Amino acid sequence: MIRAIIIDDIEIQRNHLRNIIEKELSDVLEIKDTTNNILDGIRLIKFHKPDLVFLDIELPPLGTGFDLLAALGEENIDFDVIFTTQFDQFAIRAIKFGAIDYLLKPIDIKELKSTIEKYQNRLLKKINLEVVQQHIQSPDNPENSIMLRNLNSIPINVKLKHIIRCEGDVNYTKLYLQNSIIETSETLKVYEEMFSNYNFFMRIHKSHLVNLLHIKKVKYCNAKDGGKIIMSDGSTVEISRRKATEFLERYSHFRK
């Protein structure tokens, strides 16, 4: 979920934007707070540490949205900005400030949705770059992360060591983590290929891919009957007969 703040000196404009988001984008955006002035805006940004700020350019009587950003220039606060205004003469300056986009009031729903999609894509590229850099430095490290998108297309960064198992169901996969479950619209084959460079992941059944780090007990396993294992979350996962011998070899070697 993207955490956002709205800073606009006109109440009707703040409410208009908030209502659109709560009606059309509540599965993606969460408005943490709103305000009408620079000083309170700085306070809210420091307090909430949002991912995104919808920032009006004209904020009388103390100045502009640019002044607010300049005041935060020395602070180590990381957020993205979407400028909002009734006038378009600020567009070039907004771009120079590194804004994600520039929306003219009254804000149009389609333009807002397009801007949020642009922001999500930018976030996805940023996270993927970090993931690639991690993989280059340590290609077989469980501390590495991957980028997932759930069924609402919300990007989620997950550490490999937190993934207990993946369960496939035709064109969908559920990833069981230590504290949550993420459902995605990718096949289990996609994750099998994604994790192919990591020796602690193994496909043991047509429906199951497991993290060997999270196996607590092997109940039984043989080529005649297949097998069953107990995972760290207490779940029991089946091993196919076809995978039984390979699993025993891999798991035996992995535990050494």
The Cα 209–Cα 220 span in angstroms is 18
Any idea what the CATH number is for the domain that residue 88 is in?
A: 3.40.50.2300
- Could you tell me the pLDDT band of residue 186, with boundaries at 50, 70 and 90? confident
Backbone angles phi, psi at 199, to 5 degrees: -75, -5
Structure tokens at 174: 């559920």
Instruction: Examine residue 132 and state whether it is found in any structural domain, yes or no.
Output: no
- Strand locations in 65-153 (E): 80-85, 101-104, 145-149
d(CA 87, CA 91): 9
**Residues 27, 109 share a domain:** yes
Q: What percentage of the chain carries pLDDT values higher than 90? A: 45
Q: Do 105 and 187 lie in a common domain?
A: no
Residue reference for tokens 């993207």: 2
Q: Kindly state whether residue 134 falls inside one of the protein's structural domains.
A: no
For residues 101 and 153, membership in a common domain is answered with no
- Rounded (10°) CA dihedral 46, 22, 112, 154: 80
Task: Check: CB of residue 170 under 8 Å from CB of residue 186.
Answer: no
Tell me: do 149 and 249 sit in the same domain: yes
Residue 192 lies in a domain: yes
Q: What is the mean pLDDT of the chain?
A: 85
Domain assignment present for 207: yes
Contact 4, 51 (CB under 8 A): yes
pLDDT of residue 140: 65
Q: Is the pLDDT of residue 34 over 90?
A: yes
* Residue 174 pLDDT > 70: yes
Distance CA(91)–CA(165), nearest Å, equals 48
Is there a domain that residue 130 lies in?
no
Domain range for 86 is 2-124
Cβ neighbours of 38 (radius 10 Å): 22
Percent of the chain topping pLDDT 70:
85
Is the domain of 114 the same as that of 175? no
Q: Count H helices and E strands in the chain, helices first.
A: 7, 17
Same domain assignment for residues 171 and 218: yes
Residue 245 forms part of a structural domain: yes
CB neighbours of residue 243 within 10 Å: 21
Three-class SS of 114-129: HHHHHHHHHHHHHHHH
CATH code for position 168:
2.40.50.1020
Query: pLDDT-derived band of residue 154, with 50, 70 and 90 as boundaries?
Result: confident
178 and 84 within one domain: no
CA dist., res. 138 & res. 187, Å (int): 26
Work out how many domains the chain is built from and give that number.
2
Q: How far apart are CA 61 and CA 249, in angstroms?
A: 72
Give the whole-angstrom CA distance, residue 236 versus residue 230.
5
DSSP string, 190-216: HHHHHTTT-TTEEEEETTEEEEGGGEE
Rounded CA gap, 48 and 178, in Å? Answer: 26
Indicate if 7 and 105 belong to the same structural domain: yes
**Mean pLDDT, to the nearest integer, of 140-153?**
76
Which of 63, 90, 124 marks a domain boundary? 124
Are 228 and 148 within one domain? yes
pTM for the model stands at: 0.51
Indicate the residue among 79, 95, 124 that finishes a domain: 124
Residue 187 has pLDDT above 60, yes or no: yes
Among 26, 8, 183, 41, CA closest to 116: 26
pLDDT tens-digit series, residues 204-241? 999 999 999 999 999 999 999 999 999 999 999 999 99
Q: Quick one: pLDDT band at residue 146, thresholds 50, 70, 90?
A: confident
Task: Tell me: do 178 and 117 sit in the same domain.
Answer: no
Termini Cα distance of the chain: 41
On whether both 115 and 209 belong to a single domain, the answer is no
Please report which confidence band the pLDDT of residue 129 belongs to, taking 50, 70 and 90 as the band edges.
very low
In a domain, 80, yes or no: yes
Please identify, among 98, 124, 150, the residue that sits at the C-terminal boundary of a domain.
Answer: 124
Residue 91 has pLDDT above 80, yes or no: no
For residue 83, tell me if it sits in a domain: yes
Q: Comparing C-alpha atoms, which of 203, 204, 202, 200 is closest to residue 213?
A: 200
Based on the fold, state whether residues 106 and 187 are members of the same structural domain: no
